[in-house]
Amino acid sequence: MVVAKVFKFEKQFDGFPQETDLKLVEEQLPEIKDGEFLAEAVYLSVDPYMRAYAPRLPLGETYVGGQVAKVTESKNPKFPVGKYVVAHFGWRTHTISDGKRTPGWTIPMVLPDFGGLPASLALGVLGMPGNTAYFGVTDILQPQQGHTVAVTGAAGAVGSLVGQICKIKGCKVIGIAGSDEKGKWLVDELGFDSFINYKSDDVGKALKEAAPQGVDRYFDNVGGEISSTIINQHMKNFGRVAVCGCISGYNEKEPPKATPIQKGVLRHQLRMQGLHSTRWEDKWMEGILQNKKWIEEGRLKYRETVTEGFENMFKAFTDMLRGGNFGKAIVKV
């Protein structure tokens, strides 16, 4: 008899998530049936969307999320024992799956050959965040050689890759994030051209110094007043803005107030587009293979912030929301 540990959504968040909003329970799993397999979580992801999605998640449900799991029993030839899968099973240690899609989420996928790179990367640079960065830059932002690019959430899973991919495309990249230690990593190790600490610097003033001629492309991971400042005061004419996330408001009880951006969009004739990584599901492997190639060539660096122990999922999640992570935040069971 297999017993799964599962985090259930106990109480709707009211502002910043509290530990008592989730409940860790045990579930006895039945024997697998024909067409099913049993998978044991090895790495689990903690992502900002888990906070943004909460109002739509019914209470009592398993908390949402992706994981890399090892197939330990199988009556489904597409998911043989010993293989690793990346799947949207939620915050749980053991899962019985029929290999079909959890409605609204990605379909379980046997991990492709990562050529010796760690399987955990399927939750980061070789998975959803990596593809958000890759397709968000190549399809939405479309930076050209010589462009100046600003990216917020710059030291996180998506932002750290966005900046590097823009460097690969020949751009000047300005990263905006929440600590000088993050800035040092971005500039000294990832090759960003400059860094702004939004917690201690005046973003408008610092951006004027870093990009006196203005910004051609802005990859927005945070929304709020920082984005209003960039869009209203720093974009060049005909610039592009990729709206990827708005984490500055996810934990707010009331919708955050920020200076309207319409004037800036209009004055500078900007092209501003939202994106969800899922729109590129039909060419998902293109992003994974390209990011993998850039890693192998030494042109794309990744970093993981690993929390040990399934019981520490909530801690890892809230640490990430508070900015404790460099690169991708994951949990190792």
Ligand X SMILES: NC(=O)C1=CN([C@@H]2O[C@H](COP(=O)(O)OP(=O)(O)OC[C@H]3O[C@@H](n4cnc5c(N)ncnc54)[C@H](OP(=O)(O)O)[C@@H]3O)[C@@H](O)[C@H]2O)C=CC1
Is 241:231 a contact under the CB 8 Å cutoff?
yes
Task: Give the number of residues written for the chain.
Answer: 333
Toward ligand LGFTCAMA, which CB reaches closer, 184 or 276?
276
CA distances from 81 to 106, 109, 124 (A): 21, 14, 24
Q: Taking CB under 6 A as the rule, does residue 177 contact ligand X?
A: yes
53 contact, one of ligand X, ligand LGFTCAMA, none, CB 5-8 Å limit per kind: ligand LGFTCAMA
- Measured from the CB of residue 134, what is the shortest distance to ligand LGFTCAMA in angstroms? 13
Nearer to ligand X, 163 or 239 (CB): 163
Could you tell me whether strands 148-152 and 172-177 are parallel, antiparallel, or unpaired per DSSP bridges? Answer: parallel
Beta strands in 98-234 (DSSP E): 109-110, 148-152, 172-177, 194-197, 215-220
The verdict on 86 binding ligand X (CB under 6 A) reads no
- CA dist 274 and 245 (Å) reads 8
Give the footprint of ligand LGFTCAMA on this chain (CB under 6 A). Answer: 48-49, 52-53, 128, 245-246, 276-278
84 vs 195 by CB, closer to ligand X: 195
Q: Between residues 74 and 194, which has the closer beta carbon with respect to ligand X?
A: 194
- Report yes or no: 10 and 21 within 8 Å, Cβ to Cβ: yes
Residues 198-257 touching ligand X, rule: CB under 6 A, are 221-222, 244-248
Give one word for 327, left, alpha or beta, with left for phi > 0 and alpha for psi -120 to 50.
left
- Size of the residue set binding ligand X (CB under 6 A): 31
* Contacting positions for ligand X (CB under 6 A): 47-49, 52, 129, 132, 153, 155-159, 177-179, 182, 221-222, 244-248, 275-277, 320-321, 323, 325, 329
